[in-house]
Amino acid sequence: MSIEKRVIELVEEKIADRPDLFLVDVQMRSSGQLSILIDGDNGVAITDCVAVSRHVGFHLEEENTIEQAYNLEVSSPGLDTPLKSFRQYQKNINRSLSIKLKNGDKKEGKLIAADGDGITLEESIKEKGKKATVMQNVIPFTDISETKVLVSFK
């Protein structure tokens, strides 16, 4: 079993009684950095990160899963971290997104809906000399290469 698979099991075991929390990503880098990203429907508290870190660290040490020295980091995704999971899309409905498509196009708009196949994005299309028109476009997940939440400081 890979290190990542074991870590995923341990994280899911720890957050099983917290339906508001979910695992976003696990990465074991060659540098020895083991990164775990968790998120929550209502955000993530530092105590949640600490609890996951202690649980995972304890079991990895007990089982001697990682033979070399490693650094365990548990955090929530930052503002600049691309969305990776369906739950993150659901959590960000009604927020503005910046989307890069696999064909190189870029789109910006408000996330209206997300389902198992893709998202509905409300875009404001401005043509020269005309009023902006609002359009809703359905974008399949298979067409998306990266999605980030746009943060407004207005």
Residue-wise pLDDT tens digits, 123-154: 988 888 888 889 999 999 999 999 999 987 76
Q: What is the mean pLDDT of residues 88-98?
A: 94
DSSP three-state, residue 12:
helix
| Reported CATH class of domain 86-149 | mainly beta
* 6 membership: H or E segment, kind and range: helix 3-14
What φ, ψ does residue 3 adopt, rounded to 5°? -60, -45
Are 38 and 1 in contact by the 8 Å Cβ rule? The answer is no
* 51 secondary structure, DSSP code: H
d(CA 140, CA 117): 6
Domain boundaries, the chain: 3-75, 86-149
Interval 55-79: pLDDT, tens = 999 999 999 888 888 999 999 998 8
Torsion of CA 6, 22, 40, 24, to 10 degrees: 70
Q: Which CATH superfamily is domain 3-75 in?
A: K homology (KH) domain (3.30.300.20)
pTM across the whole model: 0.80
pLDDT for the residue numbered 83: 94
CA distances from residue 80 to 83, 91, 97, 125 in whole angstroms, order as listed: 9, 16, 11, 25
Spacing of C-alpha 107 from chain mean position: 19
Using a pLDDT cut of 70, give the percent of the chain over it: 99
